[in-house]
Amino acid sequence: MIRQCKQEVLKFASCSHSAVEVAACRTGKTHYTPNTGTHALRQAICNKLEQENGLEYTPAQVVVSNGAKQSIWQAVLAVCSEDDEVSVKYIAG
């Protein structure tokens, strides 16, 4: 299995892929990131907010999303409990 994996990496590396793609494959960073963003990204955001805005946050207080729907869903999950009833108004348009 390991030999087959190494052969696949070598085949992958011989194609026209960037060094970043090859490095990601070799280090196993080929899966989806956490829904809240990677720890390194959230830490970088905390550093930026502190240095440029004078705001102090921890990575646990930062959520990175890929759009409005995900952000709204995460906000609902943060404030609602399992047995809560949530009403959502749909506006067509």
pTM above 0.75, yes or no: no
Listed residue (71, 77, 78, 69) closest to 37, CA to CA: 71
Count CA within 13 A, CB hemisphere, residue 87: 1
**Tens of pLDDT along 26-79?**
888 888 888 888 999 999 999 999 999 999 999 999 988 888 888 888 888 889
Q: CB of 44 within 8 A of CB of 51?
A: no
Q: Is the model's pLDDT at 13 over the cut of 70?
A: no
